[in-house]
């Protein structure tokens, strides 16, 4: 399989001693095949992961077997963070394609948090981002049409995973079923609206390949940048690929100590 070249390169601001790569750099490495579970609901929550290659979906599964995707994550993303406060997994993680991860134990994370407020701040940023995503989804389901939500999902995925080709952004490995699981609707609903987006020249698609104009994405991506900025301590990285904005983390002075106390209290609550 031919390797895919990512258009985006992380900014210098991320290349520091408190990057996720620094945290997981010396950790155990594991490889998973396509559709292979990394962990499942109800299993012990003892580890945290960072993706070094591939793609992972983090989902909930109903008793009836219906899946709701919470996040689609790629290279450099961390998942399993709820292990900081839960004894058992309340979600599942599955590799969407051949994927390699590095693993850190929760005991190691607790030690880092207690010793270094910068690491506590990093985890607080991560929690803020994930909470922000879920809050936005609630708002979207309440106030936006399925078509609007579908467009927003495609933009978000294109910003995160898209590859630039001849003035278009190429998004691979995204099926109608996956989009439906992201939106919490039936696959037939997504299949109904995709031709409408194509008729408007907003996208073109075939099977699991979606193409969106770079100009369209650049304009639509600005709303994604605004969304990322809503979380005060969340770095706006992916959206800056297309909008030209500079990724940065904005936190008040002394927030490292406050974050350390807060995250440590969560860990202690779990330990007791």
What DSSP line would sit under 229-261, residue for residue?
A: HTSTT----TTHHHH-PPP-----TTHHHHHHH
**pTM summary value:** 0.75
Q: Tell which CATH architecture fits domain 18-143.
A: Sandwich (2.60)
CB atoms within 10 A of CB 40: 12
Give the pLDDT confidence score for residue 108 in this predicted structure.
87
**Distance (Å, rounded) from C-alpha 39 to C-alpha 24?**
18
Q: Give the per-residue pLDDT at 85.
A: 86
Given this model, what pLDDT does residue 61 score?
94
According to CATH, what is the number of the domain 144-232? Answer: 1.10.10.10
pLDDT of residue 29: 93
State the Cα–Cα distance between residues 134 and 54, nearest whole angstrom: 23
Phi, psi of 171 (to 5 degrees): -115, 120
CATH 1.10.10.10 residue window(s) in the chain: 144-232
Alpha-carbon distances, residue 29 vs 38, 91, 103, 272 (angstroms): 12, 21, 6, 30
Instruction: Please give the pLDDT value at position 225.
Output: 52
Sheet arrangement for strand 163-165: 163-165, 168-171, 209-213, 203-206
Report residues of the chain scoring pLDDT below 50: 1-17, 228, 230-253, 255, 259-260, 262-263
Q: What's the pLDDT score for residue 219? A: 73
* Nearest to 208, CA basis, from 100, 96, 76, 117: 96
pLDDT computed for residue 115 by the predictor: 86
Comparing CA positions, the residue from 34, 69, 28, 70 lying closest to residue 52 is 28
Q: Report the distance separating Cα 189 and Cα 205, nearest Å.
A: 16
Closest by Cα among 182, 187, 135 to 155: 182
pLDDT (tens digit per residue) in 58-107: 999 999 999 999 999 999 899 999 988 889 999 999 999 999 999 999 88
- Contacts of residue 187, defined as CB under 8 A and 6 or more positions apart, other chains included, come to 176, 177, 180
Could you tell me if 101 and 188 are in contact, meaning their C-beta atoms sit under 8 angstroms apart? no
State the span(s) of the chain assigned CATH 2.60.120.10.
Answer: 18-143
Integer Cα distance of 195 and 223 in angstroms: 23
Burial of 143 (0-12, 13-18, 19+ CB in 10 A): exposed
């Amino acid at each position: 399989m031919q390797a895919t070249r990512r258009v985006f390169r992380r900014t210098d601001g991320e290349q520091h001693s408190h990057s996720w790569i620094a945290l997981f750099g010396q950790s155990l490495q594991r490889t998973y095949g396509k559709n292979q579970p990394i962990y499942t609901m109800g299993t012990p929550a003892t580890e945290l992961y960072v993706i070094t290659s591939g793609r992972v979906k983090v989902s909930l599964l109903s008793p009836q077997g219906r899946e709701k995707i919470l996040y689609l994550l790629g290279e450099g993303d961390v998942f399993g963070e709820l292990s900081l406060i839960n004894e058992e997994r309340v979600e599942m993680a599955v590799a969407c394609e051949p994927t390699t991860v590095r693993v850190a134990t929760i005991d190691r994370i607790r030690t880092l948090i207690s010793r270094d407020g910068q690491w506590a701040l990093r985890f607080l940023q991560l929690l803020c981002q994930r909470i922000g995503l879920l809050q936005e989804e609630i708002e979207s389901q309440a106030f936006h049409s399925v078509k609007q939500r579908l467009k927003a999902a495609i933009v978000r995925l294109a910003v995160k995973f898209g590859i630039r080709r001849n003035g278009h952004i190429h998004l691979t490995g995204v099926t109608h079923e996956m989009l439906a699981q992201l939106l919490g609707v039936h696959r037939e609903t997504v299949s109904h609206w995709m031709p409408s987006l194509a008729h408007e020249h907003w996208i073109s698609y075939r099977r699991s390949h979606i193409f969106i104009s770079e100009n369209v994405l650049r304009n639509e991506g600005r709303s994604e940048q605004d969304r990322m900025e809503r979380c005060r301590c969340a770095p706006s990285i992916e959206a800056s690929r297309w909008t030209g904005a500079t990724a940065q983390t904005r936190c008040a002075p002394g927030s490292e100590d406050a974050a350390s106390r807060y995250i440590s209290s969560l860990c202690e609550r779990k330990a007791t």
